[in-house]
Amino acid sequence: MDQLAETARLKQSTEASFRPMTGNEAIARGAWEAGVRVAAAYPGTPSTEILENVGTYPAEDLHAQWSTNEKVACDVAIGASFAGVRALTVMKHVGLNVASDALMSQTYIGVNGGLVAVVCDDPGIHSSQNEQDTRLFSRLAMIPVLEPADAQEALEFTRWAFDISENFDTPVIVRSTTRLSHTRSVVELGERSEPAPRGFLEDPSKNVMIPSHARARHPALLERETKLRAYFASPDFTPWERGDGKVGVVTLGTPYTYVKEVLPGASVLKLAASYPLANELVAEFCRSVERVFVVEELEPVIENEIRALGFEVAGKAFFPRVGELSPELVREGFEKAGILERAAEPHDWDVEPIARPPVLCAGCPHTTTYMALRSLDARVAGDIGCYTLAAVEPLRSIDTCVSMGSSIANAAGMAKTGVETKPIVATIGDSTFLHSGIPPLIDAVYNKANITVILLDNHVTAMTGGQEHPGTGRTLRGEETHRVDYEELIRSVGVTWVKTVDSYDVGAMYRTFREAVEHKGVSVVISNRPCVLDPVKIRGPVLAVRAENCIACQTCMNLGCPAISWSDEWHDGHHKVKIDAATCIGCTLCSQICPTDCIQPAAG
Amino acid sequence: MKMDRVATATTNVLIVGVGGQGVIMISKVLAELCQLQGHQVKQSEVHGMAKRGGGVFSHVRFGERVWSPTIPRGEADILLALEWAESLRWLGYLRPDRGTFIADTQQIVPPFACRDRRRGAADAYARETPSEVLDQVAKGFALDAGRMAAELGNLRVANTILLGALSTALDFPAEDWRTVLVRSVPPKTKDLNLQAFEQGREWVTRAATAPAPVALRRPGGLEGPAVEVELEIIEAWCKGCDICVKMCPERCLILNREQIAELSDPAACTGCGICEWLCPDFAIAVHKRTADQVGA
Ligand SMILES: Cc1ncc(C[n+]2csc(CCOP(=O)(O)OP(=O)(O)O)c2C)c(N)n1
Ligand code: SF4
Ligand code: SF4
Ligand code: SF4
Ligand code: SF4
């Protein structure tokens, strides 16, 4: 093919209306196309990129913001809905726990402008503390849940969610999963259509949830559920792919693609909404086939409801209830059920893979805190963030990690037992502190707990990829704004002992921690240094080991710095170490603790 | 019921490496190219811990109709690894009968592999050599892309060299590869990247006719007589300062009731000597004896 024709062909196939997008990008696009005016979220894997992407659409079209936590974000979106515009809030599955108080009331209230919450579940726990199933929550809250199966549907379902929200007077959840959120495929783009703002709807009986009003709303919810059941029975939303009459599969979301991959001939009822279930359609489907299977990730939600309709159905007997599904697991399930012939045993490769667990970055400012805590022999209540990695060797100095913001109150609780003999310390990241660390700090002061709180201020929400928060002084769109002064804030709630230390000053950290734990009452140490990865990648003057002086004592290896590994040289039977120049960022922590002073600036 | 695999119509490429190596960049180039060739493409990766030095992987699947975003085990037509040990981790995904294996022999040794501090211990990095693995796969290449990139004067083009190698395993016109590549790299580095791409292609062609042995560091332990470690703590000199207790990497020292340092877990002591080194009062001595010296 000649060059010109070639170029023309390449151009043609990248028409602007088709674009490869991740599920998250597609959800953001869908929200923009739906005419969203206000979007608010707190980051959380795998949902984070949704709001980051919403923030790339023009500021004239919509306001996008990072909020301090999911409840605040949800309330901001609710406020915008009250005011009559379309509003979006986004969170990871556990974020829904935080936002749930607001949503549980809002479901009674309904909406004015369309209100959509995108919730990303993490089956398989790629980066979370549990694998709770949002679909169970939807039943409690009686909020409809849409479950897209690929990026195209992610866009369409998000758009459509706003219509449902307004037409049925309900908040709507769009449920994604890690796999959908982080898979890229081609999406057909549409235009933005922004509905005219509706204006505030003055109706206290609906907007003000006092008991007398709420009592009247509960029946409205039941009625809404019935209407939605009928609505979702439309083949536009719940396509019935007629295959052979023997095997029928009810499935939804990404698992639908696994079913199509391993069982292309089966009859499939693909649900767009997992709540409420289109009962009559499902019943008709079940009657039309000999055996019914449900392939769904995590809990047997659909399975149990179909069983309650009086049908014999198989699901979790063959497909695991824990972890993420995959085409392999779905195939295995159908093999066990006798639907597919057993595949050949997997090939046996003669190799032994190594472990490569995640580690703190070279030069991570959290390192010193945990080095110092390790030697303080403290009882440490941890929290959630990059620093949770200090729970494993070599730093291994976190004793507990529950949920975001738990550390301070967990420590206070331990202290109140009066039986813990070690100094009791809570460690909490800056973003986590602002998320949910302030009420427990006030509580600890109020109740005179004897604890030390270490605020790990790395000036960013690092774990989720470096988002702004109120302590960074910048908004989601990068505008300057007020920057929280932690010392001032902490003193204002009654903490009298507060000190800020440079996280790279090992000696000062050790001394300050010692002083802090001697203080009776609540003491706070702010460990202060920017994350080396975000928002700017820090590269310092690299250090190197003078091998001739290294006594292979491994003290530096105790940091767990990924730039340090063993060299080919030995000292008295132990490995000497070397520093990888491409990884070292020059934080100097290793040189500060090396007993022979053999770590020095690299030559040249 | 016997079903034909639809998956046979789908081509599966699994690209793996370590955080920061550019796995995602390569898979994006491939995905874009497949799309330009009129295929449906799905590219799936899991972020999260990737940035913290953990493994990164990206599934690229293309064909007329792609269903699952992930490649089923044993069905990758190509496994492209940017790091040696990662190539081994994902080998189970490769089609044993006709899969192509392409791996960079670069070794990124994680701190986790340097944990066994006992005398003479080897690190825990992968032991398999390229030839041991190439012998097991249907078709395989192990190249030192890092060195080739260094010779081109820029370590960062190692990815592009591997992309060149990958291009030989797929049926797309080389010109289209170049077009997409040029679009995905900074304009200033266009020529360098094209050169690197060519090197990768040529390397594979050459290796197919005359396979070149690839040297790989084989992390060894230290030979020699077994040594017994004995820790001598001179109680009279110990003032209970706690330094050794706090710094012992194995956490095997404690202060006993008399506030004197004591070895609480002799089996865990590796004889590293840090306690001896740090004790301000010379109260600790680490003795190492070979079998014939024990008792002497
Ligand atoms: C309720 C809830 N929301 C969000 C998350 C996701 N998440 C985990 S850690 C983290 C941010 C931690 O930031 P910070 O406390 O500043 O610590 P860093 O990672 O910067 O060290 C977030 C958003 C979560 N686990 N739980
Ligand atoms: S991203 Fe930042 S906070 Fe997280 S491990 Fe790396 S340096 Fe530490
Ligand atoms: S100075 Fe030392 S501890 Fe810091 S990044 Fe470099 S090698 Fe790691
Ligand atoms: S701390 Fe110093 S002497 Fe000890 S192993 Fe590291 S570089 Fe060598
Ligand atoms: S030699 Fe000392 S510091 Fe090293 S492991 Fe033994 S007791 Fe611990």
Residue A477: CB atoms within 10 A of its CB come to: 13
Q: Are strands A543-545 and A599-601 parallel, antiparallel or unpaired?
A: antiparallel
Distance (Å) from the alpha carbon of A33 to chain B's nearest alpha carbon: 23
When pLDDT is cut at 50, 70 and 90, the band that residue A38 belongs to is very high
What is the share, in percent, of chain A residues with pLDDT greater than 90? 90
Q: Annotate A218-281 with DSSP letters as a single string.
A: HHHHHHHHHHHHHHHTSTTTS-EE--EEEEEEEEESHHHHHHHHH-TTEEEEEESEEES--HHH
Residue A511: CB atoms within 10 A of its CB come to: 14
What is the share, in percent, of chain A residues with pLDDT greater than 70? 97
Residues of B in contact with A561 (CB under 8 A): 111
The SS3 assignment for B213 reads coil
When pLDDT is cut at 50, 70 and 90, the band that residue B229 belongs to is confident
CA of A525 to the centre of ligand 3 (A): 23
**Which one of B1, B44, B112 has the shortest CB-CB distance to A182?**
B44
CA of A542 to the centre of ligand 3 (A): 8
What pTM did the predictor assign? 0.94
pLDDT at A540: 84
Of all residues in chain B, the one with the smallest CA distance to A568 is B219
The whole-number average pLDDT for the span A393-412 is 96
Residue A196: CB atoms within 10 A of its CB come to: 8
**How large is the ipTM?**
0.92
- Residue A594, chain B, CB below 8 Å: the answer is no
Which residues, in sequence order, are bridge partners of residue A565?
A: A578
Secondary-structure percent of chain B, ordered helix, strand, coil, rounded to 5: 35, 20, 45
CA of A325 to the centre of ligand 5 (A): 46
Which residues, in sequence order, are bridge partners of residue A91?
A: A119
When pLDDT is cut at 50, 70 and 90, the band that residue B19 belongs to is confident
Residue spans of alpha helices (H) in B74-144 = 84-89, 130-134
Mean pLDDT in chain B?
88
Q: What is the pLDDT of residues B76-116, one digit of tens each?
A: 999 999 999 999 999 999 999 999 999 999 999 888 899 88
Pocket test for ligand 3, best of A531, A539, A559, A565 (most atoms within 8 A of CB): A559
What's the rounded Cα separation, in Å, for the pair A570 and A556? 16
When pLDDT is cut at 50, 70 and 90, the band that residue B211 belongs to is low
End-to-end Cα spacing for chain B: 76
pLDDT for A3 beyond 50: no
Burial class (CB in 10 A: 0-12, 13-18, 19+), B205: exposed
pLDDT for A438 beyond 90: yes
Task: With CB atoms and an 8 Å threshold, state whether B41 touches A20.
Answer: yes
Q: What is the pLDDT of residues B79-89, one digit of tens each?
A: 999 999 999 99
B251: left (phi over 0), alpha (psi -120 to 50) or beta: left
**Which one of B45, B86, B222 has the shortest CB-CB distance to A573?**
B222
Q: What is the pLDDT of residues B144-185, one digit of tens each?
A: 999 999 999 998 899 999 999 999 999 999 999 999 999 999
Task: With CB atoms and an 8 Å threshold, state whether B112 touches A356.
Answer: yes
Distance (Å) from the alpha carbon of B186 to chain A's nearest alpha carbon: 19
Q: What is the CATH code of the structural domain delimited by B228-295?
A: 3.30.70.20
Q: What is the pLDDT of residues A211-233, one digit of tens each?
A: 999 999 999 999 999 999 999 99
Question: Ligand 5 pocket, B283 CB below 6 A?
Answer: no
Task: With CB atoms and an 8 Å threshold, state whether B18 touches A186.
Answer: no
Instruction: Tell the residue nearest (CA) to atom 5 of ligand 5.
Output: B269
Q: What is the CATH code of the structural domain delimited by B11-209?
A: 3.40.920.10
DSSP state of A417: H
pLDDT at B41: 96
Instruction: Tell the residue nearest (CA) to atom 22 of ligand 1.
Output: A44
Map out the domains of chain B as residue ranges. 11-209, 228-295
Q: How many helices (H) and strands (E) does chain B have?
A: 9, 10
- Residue A125, chain B, CB below 8 Å: the answer is no
Mean pLDDT in chain A?
95
B224: left (phi over 0), alpha (psi -120 to 50) or beta: left
The whole-number average pLDDT for the span B56-64 is 95
User: Are A179 and B44 spatial neighbours (Cβ–Cβ below 8 Å)?
Assistant: yes
CA of A94 to the centre of ligand 2 (A): 22
The whole-number average pLDDT for the span A125-133 is 94
Pocket test for ligand 4, best of A506, A548, A551, A588 (most atoms within 8 A of CB): A551
Of all residues in chain A, the one with the smallest CA distance to B218 is A568
